[in-house]
Amino acid sequence: MESTEPLLVIDDLAVEFRTDEGVVKAVDGASFSVGRGEIVGVVGESGSGKSVTAMSILGLVKSGRRAGGTIRFRGRDLATLPAKELRAIRGAEIAMIFQDPMTALNPVVTVGRQIVEALKLHDKKLSKAAARDRAIELLALVGMPDAAARFKQYPHEFSGGMRQRAMIAMAIANGPSLLIADEPTTALDVTIQAQVLDLLKVAQQETQAATLLITHDLGVVAELADRVVVMYAGRVVEQGDVTTVFTEPRHPYTVGLLESLPRLDRDVDELHPIPGSPPSLLAPPPGCPFHPRCPLARDRCRTERPQPRVVGAGHQSACHFAAELAAVHTEVTR
């Protein structure tokens, strides 16, 4: 019997990188979960640990080391799974879409063969012809015109958007129950971004896969995600459903992110960038990692690290003064 636990549960995950200057805590006690069929957006600036979190789910963090916590998928801890069992999950139950489609495909192997490889790795009995037909079908599904001809072409004969379509076709090839998309639109032209986002939506509906969407773009999250996880300096600072977090943010960092965005639906005179820059993860500031940039920072923030607390239905914030923030935020946006 399946447990009642969500599909993916990341619990107190910590990932460290040893560098010449010291230990970098790229992810420092992050916890969140993804339910079946749910789309969860993980947002944060560069260096917030969002990509490392995504990569560590499938054990793809090269030089880093998991320093603590668990990553449970269907009740099994992926981080302690034997290599062979993890490989059986990679590309089958959990598939990934990477940021840069220009480099994520092997340049000397045809696109078709790369999709066929994904199929055959998880179905040894699949015949060559059947795999080929299925791959062409997948290419057609992701909106590739003339899929049969495209099957035989090399990645350099594809545009960036087409390559990302091919990546998506490869990712959904085995009908995964979890799709991890790491900045899937960041490397693309703005016009192509919208198409790829639409395609991701289609792919999600087609496969009913839960999707973990890693992005720095709040617009993408608003468009696609059911829930949002905001990360800062390797920690989850706020999470909740998209509407709640976007309309009633309970963490000053989320407030800052939202205020730095241009809005079409509201008359905004000025954009307010967050002052300062993200902290060094070699020597993170004591207490709340956001306090050096926080307009509300007080003495307590400089000494005591805030833990995530429930601030509403399914809504968590790691701010000592989350309760006060409601009033302040309304004031700022007025």
Partner 1 sequence: MAAFVVRRILVNIVVFMLIGIGVFLLVRAAPGDPVRMMISPEDLQEGSEQFIQARRAELGLDDPILVQYARWLLDAISGDLGSSFLNREPVSGLLLERLGPTVLLMSTALGISLLIAVPLGTIAAVRRNTGVDYAAAALSLGVISVPSFFLGITAIYVFSLQLGWLPSSGMSTPDGGGGADVLKHLIMPAAILGLAAAGPLTRYVRGSLIDELSADYVRTAEAKGGSLARVVSRHALRNSLIPLITIVMINIPQMLAGAVVLEQVFAWPGMGQLAVRAVNTQDYPVIVGFALYVAALVLVCNLVADIAYAVVDPRVKVT
Residues that bind partner 1 (CB under 8 A): 58, 60, 62, 87-92, 95-96, 98, 100, 103-110, 114, 117-118, 121-122, 154, 156, 167, 170
Backbone φ and ψ of 9, nearest 5°: -125, 115
302 vs 91: CA distance, rounded Å? 43
Q: Shortest approach of partner 1 to residue 104 CB, angstroms?
A: 5
Cβ within 8 Å of residue 38, ≥6 positions away: 6, 7, 210, 211, 226, 227
- Beta partners for 27? 15
- In angstroms, the CA 332 to CA 329 distance is 5
Please list, in sequence order, all residues whose beta carbon lies within 8 angstroms of the beta carbon of residue 97, skipping any fewer than 6 positions away.
Answer: 164, 167, 168, 171, 179, 180, 181, 182, 184, 200
**Minimum CB distance to partner 1, residue 156 (Å):** 5
Cβ proximity to partner 1: between 85 and 324 the closer is 85
Q: What angle do CA 4, 6, 12 make, to 5 degrees?
A: 120
Of residues 62 and 266, the one with the C-beta less far from partner 1: 62
Q: Given strand 76-77, what is the order of strands in its sheet?
A: 22-34, 8-19, 65-73, 76-77
Least distance to partner 1, CB of residue 81, Å: 13
Pick between residue 115 and residue 294 the one whose CB is nearest to partner 1.
115
Q: CA-CA distance, 16 to 66, in Å (whole number)? A: 6
Rank residues 106 and 247 by Cβ distance to partner 1 and give the closer one: 106
Q: Give the residue with the Cβ less far from partner 1, 92 or 212.
A: 92
Taking the least distance from each CB to partner 1, the nearer of 154 and 246 is: 154
Nearest distance from residue 294's CB to partner 1, in Å? 35
Question: What residues form DSSP beta bridges with 15?
Answer: 27, 66
Alpha carbon distance 221, 231 (integer Å): 13
Q: Which of 89/199 has CB closer to partner 1?
A: 89
Give min distance, CB of 125 to partner 1, in A: 16
Q: Cβ closer to partner 1: 84 or 334?
A: 84
Nearest distance, CB of residue 256 and partner 1, angstroms = 31
291, two tokens: 């306090």
Closest distance to partner 1 from the beta carbon of 60 (Å): 6
Q: What span, in angstroms and rounded, lies between the C-alpha atoms of 118 and 200?
A: 19
* Amino acid letter, 306: P
Minimum separation from the CB atom of position 118 to partner 1 (A): 5
Cα–Cα distance between 266 and 177 in angstroms, integer?
Answer: 38
